[in-house]
Amino acid sequence: QNMSADKEAAYRAGLEASLAAGADVLSAGGSAVDAVQAAVIVMEDDELFNAGKGAVMTAAYEHELDASIMDGRDRNAGAVAGVKRVKNPILAARAVMDQSEHVMFAGEGADAFAESVGLDMVENSYFTTERRLKALERVLETQSRADADRHGTVGAVAIDKDGNIAAATTTGGMTAKAPGRIGDSPLIGAATYAQNGVCAVSATGHGEYFIRVGVAKTICTRVELAGDSIDAAAQNALGQVADLGGDGGV
């Protein structure tokens, strides 16, 4: 409701392009994990979204990006937190999953790992846009965040022809976040979870609350153990977030 019609059309076009990229992978017989990765890359590269180029800025006028990906087939997962140089954070998360024995890398070590596996690296300023710079200056001056200052995280879930499911999430976090602050987006179980036969979740919202509730895993656990529908499980987890004072969506 706070958007002009032109801006809404641009966002919808970005979402359609993302959906098409994921659908192309699936219709060519590709896996759910490749599909969510393809869908997220489109949004990381689209400066409208708070992920990759166009991400929000920290209080130190930098970008620190978080991403995670999970394969529901074997519950393998990969994540990076606080990366500053890898062009597509979701590819770094994927590389952690596929090419390391670990689940999560943070900070300089995460960028170094991404570089070591041959991913495209950029200057931190590559991610900066006029719009996010202005938003940062406004938040620093007024010391308050509008909802839009922590919206725009991207995510995708998919199911492929073999019935495998996957989830992926990338964010720049919140405008004017303290350097080093990590939100829910790179945390498996908070913003991202996928388990075959249960569900796949990607979340966005006020990360501190999503971490405390463990939103993504709570939803999957309610579906698996309590027999909730996906909708009821999601409402329950988001209700817990709201009860603690946070908000967001899945």
Q: Which residues bind ligand ASP (CB under 6 A)?
A: 150-151, 153, 171, 173-174, 183-185, 204-205, 207
Smaller CB distance to ligand ASP: residue 34 or 189?
Answer: 189
As a whole number of angstroms, the distance between CA 229 and CA 107 comes to 38
> Which tokens sit at 32?
């759910």
Q: How far is the CB of 174 from ligand ASP (least distance, A)?
A: 6
> Which tokens sit at 195?
């388990």
Q: How far is the CB of 157 from ligand ASP (least distance, A)?
A: 15
Smaller CB distance to ligand ASP: residue 164 or 170?
Answer: 170
Smaller CB distance to ligand ASP: residue 171 or 196?
Answer: 171
Closest residue to bound ligand ASP by CB? 207
Smaller CB distance to ligand ASP: residue 50 or 164?
Answer: 50
Which residues are 77's β-sheet partners? 70
Q: How far is the CB of 73 from ligand ASP (least distance, A)?
A: 26
Smaller CB distance to ligand ASP: residue 31 or 88?
Answer: 88
Q: How far is the CB of 235 from ligand ASP (least distance, A)?
A: 18
As a whole number of angstroms, the distance between CA 15 and CA 92 comes to 22
As a whole number of angstroms, the distance between CA 138 and CA 175 comes to 10
As a whole number of angstroms, the distance between CA 4 and CA 2 comes to 7
> Which tokens sit at 26?
């699936």
The residues that are catalytic are 153
Distance between the two ends of the chain, CA-based, in angstroms? 19
Q: What angle do CA 144, 148, 149 make, to 5 degrees?
A: 50
Helix H segments across 164-214?
207-213
DSSP at 128: -
> Which tokens sit at 186?
């790179």
Q: How far is the CB of 249 from ligand ASP (least distance, A)?
A: 9
